[in-house]
Structure 1
Amino acid sequence: MPSFVLLVRARGDADPAMRIGITVSKKVGNAVVRNRMKRRFRALVREVLPEAGIPGADHVLIGRNGGIERPFDDLKAELAKALVKVKR
């Protein structure tokens, strides 16, 4: 089961900046768990998005159960794979 859902939408303006949104539902855990997951997602985005992101698009990561236990390298590979699928 994936640790997150990735939504990407092109804005359609001339701005090539990539924007990011991160959300984790209360179903995932308490505030400590949700905030830890958001910190991990922010670190993940800083590493992967500059090379693999889509310019001029909004990227939204929605955290899912089990994402907090996943190794960071697995999350990184998952995000890179999702971005490749979106680019097609």
Structure 2
Amino acid sequence: MEEPAPLSSLRLERLRTRPGFLAVAKGRACARGAVLMQVRDRADGDDLVRVGFTATRRIGGAVVRNRAKRRLREAARLLVPVLGRPGCDYVLIARGGTPTRPWPRLLDDVKTALISLAA
């Protein structure tokens, strides 16, 4: 069974290198519920949107951190192509409630953070 195509044509790419995460950390941030989101506007003129995910040890052990990151990846896959700005880098940081938060509330947290950072 095929996955449905995203509603927008924004190209998403994973942010994987430490310098990329550190650059985004210098940008704006917004905390909503179980998610802290950071954003940085790149000045390279490319419409590519890069997204990174992180969870610190404060969240829990490896299994809990991986679950939190999986949930954030899926939320970003659904919402960033629709609400993200072209040419920006986003980092989603898991907070204490990310692994156990009800799915609709987690989606709402990510959505409101994206809208707030787009303003």
> Does the TM-score normalized on the shorter chain lie above 0.5?
yes
Offset of residue 2 of structure 1: 1.8
Gaps of 5+ in 1: none
Higher helix share: 1
Letter in 2 for 1:32: V
Q: Look up the SS of the partner of 1:12 in the other structure.
A: coil
Equivalent of 2:87 in 51, 56, 62: 56
Equivalent of 2:57 in 26, 32, 36: 26
1:3 maps to: 34
The RMSD of aligned alpha carbons is 1.1
Q: Taking structure 2 as the reference length, what is the TM-score of the superposition?
A: 0.71
Aligned length: 88
Output the CA distance in 1 between the equivalents of 2:83 and 2:97: 24
Higher relative contact order (CA 8 A, sep 6+): 1
Output the CA distance in 1 between the equivalents of 2:110 and 2:59: 19
After the TM superposition, list the runs of 4 or more consecutive aligned residues in structure 1 that deviate by more than 4 angstroms: none
Structure having the higher Rg: 2
Output the CA distance in 1 between the equivalents of 2:49 and 2:94: 19
Gaps of 5+ in 2: 1-31
Matched, 1:75 2:111: no
